[in-house]
A = this chain, B = another copy of it.
Amino acid sequence: MKRDIDDLMQERGLSAAIVLQGEHQSPTFRYLTGPRTHLRGIVVWRPGAKPYLVHHAMERDSAAATGFDLGDYGSLGWMKMLEQEGNQVKATARLIHAVLERLKIRGRVLVDGVAQVGWYYHVLNHLSEIDRDIEIAEDQDPGLFELARSTKDPEEVTTVRTVASACERAYARVRSIIQGARLEGKKLRDREGWVTIGRLRREVRRIFFEAGLVEPHGNIIAMGRDAGVPHNEGNDDDVLEEGCPIVIDLYPAQENGGYYFDVTRTYCVGRASKELKDLHALVRDAVARTVDRLAVGTPGRVYQENVCDLFEAHGHRTIRQDERVEEGYVHGLGHGIGLEVHERPRLSAAMNPDLILPGSLFTVEPGLYYPSRGLGVRIEDVIYAHHDGSFENLTHVPYELEIAPA
Judged by a CB distance under 8 angstroms, whether A313 is at the interface is no
* Residue ID in chain B nearest A36 by CB atoms: B233
- How long is the Cα–Cα vector from A91 to B351 in the complex, in angstroms? 11
Contact B116 A114 (CB under 8 A): yes
Contact A115 B118 (CB under 8 A): no
Contacts of A136 in B (CB 8 A): 118, 121-122
Partner of A23, one of B23, B120, B340: B340
Contact A214 B214 (CB under 8 A): yes
- How long is the Cα–Cα vector from A179 to B113 in the complex, in angstroms? 45
Contact A58 B230 (CB under 8 A): yes
Contact A23 B230 (CB under 8 A): no
Contact A324 B138 (CB under 8 A): no
Judged by a CB distance under 8 angstroms, whether A139 is at the interface is yes
Judged by a CB distance under 8 angstroms, whether A342 is at the interface is yes
Judged by a CB distance under 8 angstroms, whether A83 is at the interface is yes
Contact A120 B119 (CB under 8 A): no
Partner of A117, one of B38, B120, B231: B120
Judged by a CB distance under 8 angstroms, whether A103 is at the interface is no
Tell me the A315-374 residues at the B interface (CB within 8 Å). 322-326, 330-331, 340-342, 350-351
Judged by a CB distance under 8 angstroms, whether A60 is at the interface is yes
Contact A57 B120 (CB under 8 A): no
Partner of A121, one of B73, B82, B120: B120
Contact B331 A231 (CB under 8 A): no
Contacts of A20 in B (CB 8 A): 117
Contacts of A233 in B (CB 8 A): 37-38
Partner of A229, one of B23, B58, B342: B58
- How long is the Cα–Cα vector from A307 to B18 in the complex, in angstroms? 36
Judged by a CB distance under 8 angstroms, whether A59 is at the interface is yes
Contact A23 B79 (CB under 8 A): no
Contacts of A141 in B (CB 8 A): 87-89
Judged by a CB distance under 8 angstroms, whether A289 is at the interface is no
Judged by a CB distance under 8 angstroms, whether A403 is at the interface is no
Judged by a CB distance under 8 angstroms, whether A112 is at the interface is yes
* Residue ID in chain B nearest A118 by CB atoms: B111
Tell me the A64-92 residues at the B interface (CB within 8 Å). 72-75, 78-79, 82-83, 86-89, 91
Tell me the A9-65 residues at the B interface (CB within 8 Å). 18, 20, 23-25, 37-38, 56-62
Contacts of A74 in B (CB 8 A): 322-325
Judged by a CB distance under 8 angstroms, whether A209 is at the interface is yes
Residue among A87, A112, A117, A324 facing the most chain B CB atoms (10 A cut-off): A117
Contacts of A218 in B (CB 8 A): 37-38, 255-256
- How long is the Cα–Cα vector from A113 to B56 in the complex, in angstroms? 24
- Report the minimal beta-carbon distance from A19 to chain B, rounded to whole angstroms: 9
Tell me the A84-143 residues at the B interface (CB within 8 Å). 86-89, 91, 110-122, 124, 136, 138-139, 141, 143
Partner of A255, one of B18, B143, B215, B323: B215
Judged by a CB distance under 8 angstroms, whether A232 is at the interface is yes
Judged by a CB distance under 8 angstroms, whether A217 is at the interface is yes
Partner of A119, one of B88, B143, B220: B143
Tell me the A135-154 residues at the B interface (CB within 8 Å). 136, 138-139, 141, 143
Contacts of A124 in B (CB 8 A): 117-118, 121
Task: Give 10 nearest A-B pairs by CB, closest first.
Answer: A111-B118, A37-B218, A117-B120, A74-B324, A38-B231, A58-B230, A74-B323, A58-B231, A59-B231, A79-B323
Q: Which A positions have Cβ atoms within 8 angstroms of B?
A: 18, 20, 23-25, 37-38, 56-62, 72-75, 78-79, 82-83, 86-89, 91, 110-122, 124, 136, 138-139, 141, 143, 205-206, 209, 214-218, 220, 226, 229-233, 255-256, 322-326, 330-331, 340-342, 350-351
Beyond A122-B136, A209-B209, 7 additional contacts (C-beta under 8 Å) are: A37-B217, A37-B233, A38-B217, A60-B326, A72-B324, A89-B138, A118-B124
